[in-house]
Structure 1
Amino acid sequence: MKKNKNEAKLLKKALELGFAFAKKQGFSDLDRSVGSTDRVECIYRLLVECKQITPLAVDQEDGVHMKHKLVLWISRLLPPDHELLN
């Protein structure tokens, strides 16, 4: 897994867009009491269900791989000259 130097910021951006996508799909906002790991998993599973990303192998479904998958997803959505991709 290649690590991006802005991976934390990209993950934050992915979660923001993921929650906006979830809201457009009719889901309510997640409570602030929900942990970050659960938020990552919720957005990951929603994107898989909506066929926005390909699912991970069952043996790789953990927090680290889900976060990386979200970072890859947002990296493809952002324009190539975006500040987080440089």
Structure 2
Amino acid sequence: MKKLKNEKELVKKAIALGMEYGEKRGVVEFEPTDSAAEKVEYIYRLLVHDNLIQPLPEDQVSQQSMQHKLAIWASKQ
């Protein structure tokens, strides 16, 4: 997995876009106390469920790999 040039910024953008997408869709309401890790996992699973990103093999799912997938998704938005 090759790290993207500005991956941290893209992950932040992906969280913001994913939160907006989930709330607009009416499936989630994020709380200020939710950690970034929880948001990343929920957004990743939501996007996989909606077929907007390809799922990772279940044995390769980790916080870092989910962030990477979300960063790639955000870069294409």
**Would the TM-score normalized by the shorter structure come out above 0.5?**
yes
Residue 76 of structure 2 aligns to a residue in which SS?
A: helix
In structure 1, stretches of 5+ residues that fail to align are 78-86
Partner of 1:69: 69
Give the residue type in structure 1 aligned to 2:55: P
For residue 29 of structure 1, report the CA deviation from its aligned partner.
2.6
Residue 27 of structure 1 aligns to a residue in which SS?
A: coil
Q: How many residues align?
A: 77
Partner of 2:6: 6
Question: 1:11, 1:64 → 2: CA distance?
Answer: 10
Higher mean displacement: 44-53 or 25-34: 25-34
2:22 is the alignment partner of 1:22: yes
For residue 16 of structure 1, report the CA deviation from its aligned partner.
0.6
Give TM-score, length-normalised by structure 2.
0.92
Instruction: Give the structure, 1 or 2, with the largest relative contact order (CA under 8 Å, sep 6 or more).
Output: 2
Question: 1:39, 1:21 → 2: CA distance?
Answer: 12
Identity fraction in percent: 43
Question: 2:65, 2:34 → 1: CA distance?
Answer: 20
Question: 1:53, 1:10 → 2: CA distance?
Answer: 15
For residue 72 of structure 1, report the CA deviation from its aligned partner.
0.8
Question: 2:30, 2:60 → 1: CA distance?
Answer: 25
Give TM-score, length-normalised by structure 1.
0.83
Residue 74 of structure 2 aligns to a residue in which SS?
A: helix
